[in-house]
Structures are given as C-alpha cells and as structure tokens.
A and B are shown apart, each in its own frame.
Chain A
C-alpha cells in the first residue's frame, strides 16, 4: 500500500527515531571516558581514570554490593511466586482468574511513586524498620510479573499433547512436571529471572521510599546527581549500570526470544 515516497519517508523516520533512542545513551558512555572534571562538550580525550576512581570508592562498592544482593533476593522471590502463580493460572480455571493477572501487573502499571509511598506507609504502620528486606519486598512485588509473564506465555504455547503423551506412557503427575513441563519452561524461567534482576538492579523510584539509610547503586547515583557532585565518577558508574541492565536483557532475548523482553506489551494485554 505504501508508495515509494512514503516508504522512503518511513525509512528516514525510523533512522531518526533510532538516533533519538541511542545518541543520549552513547553520550553518557563517551563522557565516562572523558578526562575532564567538568562536563562540557566536546570531551577532552579518552581515559579509564574515572572507572578506577569508581572502583576504589568505598561508597560505590557498598552500594553496588547492596544492589546485587537486593536484585538476587528479589529475583529469587519473584521466581518462586511468579512461576507458582503462572502454573496455577495455566492449569486451573477458577473464579477471579483474570483479577489475579490484573493484580500482578498493577505494581508496574501504577505510577511508581504510589507503590513507593504505599509501601513506606505500610512499613511505618506495621512498625517494620526499613532495611535490606524492605527493599527486597518492594522489588519482588514488581519483579513477580516479569517471571509470571514469561512463564505463562511459554506454558500457553506448550502443546497439551506433550503432558498427555507423558501420562499415557505411565508417568505419574510429578514425573510429568519434572521431566516434561519443567524443561519446557526452563528458558522462560531463566529469561524471567534475568529481567527481574535487571529491573531490580536499576530501580530507584520505589527504592527511595523503602531503603532507609542504605544506598543502593541507583540511590547513590540519584544523590550525586541531585547535588551535582562527583559527576565524572557518576558517568563511569552509570555506564556500568547501563551494561548491567542491558546484558541480562540481551541474554534473555537470546535465550527466550526477543518478544520475551517486551516489558509492557504482554503485560498490558494480560491486564486488559
């Protein structure tokens, strides 16, 4: 239906959008290698100095370790709860099924400040001290949907005949789960876990409300940016965070297909 002119226009549009999407990120990465202490364009040269500064900065190290710890724990919780609910929704029909998938999407569909402020009020109300665990609770709540989405999509694509064949060949229920269902969803579990990790590692909007006195890496970055301090070091740290969020996502896309990393589409389709 497209005339050649329209095709050309579309192609130019696509290139412009790609530039718009990638240039700002490339800019940060470039600045991370800039030897200058003030940030002005063009950059003054190339150096690894700021990565070294970041590496030796005790605050950054502590924050980094906390972020990794939180992301691993949140991913663990999300794996267990997300796959349990996905399997239950796939296997059984019951009243309120649609409500459950809507509920799971809510934490990523509602503005982050609401989830953050709500959790903070909840912890105050129940007299729970803010700690590593309150951060994990917040992160796990919106990571569950990542695992859930991936696993349920895979289960729905799995032919029912596989489990039936297994049963016909005399496998007990648990044997079918262990030897047929689990291997079929394994890559979906892995990609869900990688996405949950990436989401948690980068989260700041909710974490501000659930972290108390401790800094995760994004909170350290936010603090430095607010005060406008240590910006060259921030460039290096941010570059590392970009890598640590993008690498798991690329891995997930490789393992379970590009559509598995669509953060929004399937989530909203399920919700609606």
Chain B
C-alpha cells in the first residue's frame, strides 16, 4: 500500500525534479560550440573558472549576496514588531484580520507587485508627485538598484512576517512573565527571551527572503538599470543567448550559498526548536 501510494509522487520528484537538478549540475561542466551555439557534451571547468576569475561576475555575486542580505535585514526589522503585535497584543479578531491581510499581498500576482513599483517610481509617478507636494524631489529611483531593493523588500516581506509570527505565537506567555518577574525590562526580555525563542521563525523567514532574492531576475530586469545585474540576470541572459552552461554554472552559486546557509542555520541550532 505504502509503495503504491509513494511510487508515483516519488517517481515524479526523482525522475523529473532531481534529475533536472543533476542535469543542471552536469550542464555547468559542458560547453557550447561558439560557432553553432549547440551544446557540446565535453567536460570542461571553463564555465566555473570564467565565473571565479572574471571580476564582473564576482562583482555580480557580491552585489546579489549583499542585496539578499540587506533585504533580509530590512524585512526582519519591519516584520518583528508587526509579528509581535499580531501574536501577542492583538485581539483574536484583529489577529485573524491582520493575518489574512498579510497573506493576501503574498498571494497577489508577483508581476503585479513588481510592476506596482514601476508605477510608483516612474518619473511622473506617485512618488515624485508626492515629493513635489512637499516641495521636494524629483527623485528618480526608477532604473536604479534602490528601486530593485525597495521592491524586493516589499515582495518578500510577507514571507518573513508569517514564520516570525508563527514562532512568536508559540512562545508560552509564562516565559515572558518569568523574565519580567526576574526583573527583565522590555528591552532585556526582548533580547534575552523573545528573540532567541523566535530564532527558528526568523531563520525560516530569512531562508525565504534570502533565497528568493538570490534567484530573482525579473525584478532587476523591470526596475533596475545598467548597474542592476544580479546572479539571476546572468543566468537568464545566458539562457537567452543560448549559453546554458554558463547560466547553469552561475545558478550553482545560489545553490551553494543556500546549502551553506541551511547548514550554518543548523549549526547554530536554529532548527532544534522546530
């Protein structure tokens, strides 16, 4: 019975998904014929060496990781007070309302969320109109990394709020009372009790904000400028220009980073509380 139930889904995942990941890995060690553009199945390290020796590519990696880290930190700062209010202050009704209010933008069309910022940042957009009202601006953020950064923070914010809320919600009230009985003030209780106990949720949320930013090419493409080349953009452009092996090699970078991130999170014990 178990075999009957498990064979089709596992076959799907192993024969298609895992097989695809393996092919991606292998493709990174192949090359394309520079005349025909066809994939040539000869083993080469040239894609990987090209990435680690070309300063432009290294810059792209540093830029992407920096962006992912910045987005994660900002989302965390926005999410923690919000999730705290949701989990520990709001009444039951308000909590349900706020919870659904967080989830709706998470599900609302991804492209819509990117595009919305184009409408905000464009030269005659809402931002410059509002700035003009208070005699400021214009501030032309469109086609800059600032636009990309703000849009990333916006798009992935609900992915941070939900797990942080779930973690804060699980902390027994008695823990906080105990901290207060022992003389812990708000800040001390937050730092020494709440945050450590919420760590699994924070890590879970950051896995999403970090990973989703690492692999996005659409937001930079639509909102960024000439300087907005990210790991995803390189992989996407290589794919468009028929140089899949280089794209595959580039795509391995986020895989390595994410695996390192997950192992690091495990090493500091972030998963033990889950």
- Seen from chain A, the residues whose Cβ lies within 8 Å of a Cβ on chain B are 1-3, 6-7, 9-11, 13-14, 17-18, 20-22, 24-25, 27-28, 31, 38-42, 80-82, 84-85, 87-88, 91-92, 94, 100, 103-104, 106-107, 109-115, 117-122, 124-125, 137, 140-141, 144, 198, 202-205, 208-209, 218, 221-222, 225-226, 234, 238-239, 241-242, 245-246, 249-250, 253, 258-259, 261-265, 268-269, 272
A36 CA / B184 CA spacing, docked (Å): 59
A259 CA / B132 CA spacing, docked (Å): 42
Whether the pair B6, A84 counts as a contact (CB closer than 8 A) is: yes
Closest chain-A Cβ to B196's Cβ sits at a distance in Å of 16
Collect the chain B residues with CB atoms within 8 Å of residue A269's CB.
163, 166, 204, 274
B180 lies within 8 A of chain A by Cβ = yes
B222 lies within 8 A of chain A by Cβ = yes
Closest chain-B Cβ to A116's Cβ sits at a distance in Å of 8
A242 CA / B6 CA spacing, docked (Å): 35
26 contacts between A and B (CB under 8 A): A14-B82, A18-B101, A21-B154, A22-B105, A24-B116, A27-B116, A88-B5, A106-B17, A109-B208, A110-B255, A111-B211, A118-B20, A118-B21, A121-B24, A122-B23, A203-B110, A218-B109, A225-B118, A239-B112, A258-B99, A261-B107, A263-B107, A263-B159, A265-B166, A269-B274, A272-B200
Interface residues of B in 231-274 (CB under 8 A from A): 231-232, 235-236, 239, 244, 247-248, 251, 254-255, 258, 271, 274
Given contacts A141-B17, A198-B107, A269-B166, contact A114 B125 (CB under 8 A): no
Whether the pair B8, A80 counts as a contact (CB closer than 8 A) is: yes
Pick the contact of A28 from B12, B27, B116, B166 — CB < 8 Å? Answer: B116
Interface residues of B in 73-101 (CB under 8 A from A): 78, 81-82, 84-86, 89, 96, 98-101
Collect the chain B residues with CB atoms within 8 Å of residue A21's CB.
101-102, 105, 154, 157-158
Whether the pair A7, B89 counts as a contact (CB closer than 8 A) is: yes
A265 CA / B102 CA spacing, docked (Å): 13
Collect the chain A residues with CB atoms within 8 Å of residue B152's CB.
none
Pick the contact of B207 from A28, A41, A258, A268 — CB < 8 Å? Answer: A268
Can you add 9 more A-B contacts, CB < 8 Å, to A28-B119, A110-B215, A202-B110?
A24-B120, A27-B126, A28-B116, A91-B1, A111-B251, A117-B244, A119-B16, A242-B109, A261-B107
A69 CA / B175 CA spacing, docked (Å): 51
Whether the pair B109, A241 counts as a contact (CB closer than 8 A) is: yes
Given contacts A1-B176, A226-B221, contact A17 B99 (CB under 8 A): no
Of the four ranges (under 10, 10 to 19, 20 to 34, 35 or more), the interface on chain B belongs to 35 or more
B19 lies within 8 A of chain A by Cβ = yes
Whether the pair B20, A122 counts as a contact (CB closer than 8 A) is: yes
Given contacts A21-B101, A21-B157, A120-B239, contact A41 B129 (CB under 8 A): yes
Whether the pair B217, A113 counts as a contact (CB closer than 8 A) is: yes
Collect the chain A residues with CB atoms within 8 Å of residue B103's CB.
249, 253, 258, 261-263
Whether the pair A264, B163 counts as a contact (CB closer than 8 A) is: yes
A25 CA / B158 CA spacing, docked (Å): 14
What's the dominant secondary structure at chain B's contact region?
helix
Given contacts A81-B8, A117-B239, A249-B104, contact A124 B20 (CB under 8 A): no
Whether the pair A91, B2 counts as a contact (CB closer than 8 A) is: yes
A81 CA / B5 CA spacing, docked (Å): 8
B57 lies within 8 A of chain A by Cβ = no
Collect the chain B residues with CB atoms within 8 Å of residue A24's CB.
113, 116-117, 119-120, 154
B49 lies within 8 A of chain A by Cβ = no
Closest chain-A Cβ to B199's Cβ sits at a distance in Å of 12
Collect the chain B residues with CB atoms within 8 Å of residue A107's CB.
17
Collect the chain A residues with CB atoms within 8 Å of residue B159's CB.
263-264
Residue among B108, B113, B114 with the most chain A CB within 10 A? B108
Collect the chain A residues with CB atoms within 8 Å of residue B84's CB.
10
Whether the pair A10, B85 counts as a contact (CB closer than 8 A) is: yes
Q: When each residue 169-208 of chain B gets 1 if its CB lies under 8 Å from chain A and 0 otherwise, what string results?
A: 0000000100010000010010000000000110011011
Whether the pair B6, A88 counts as a contact (CB closer than 8 A) is: yes
Q: Which residue of B lies closest to A257 (CB)?
A: B96
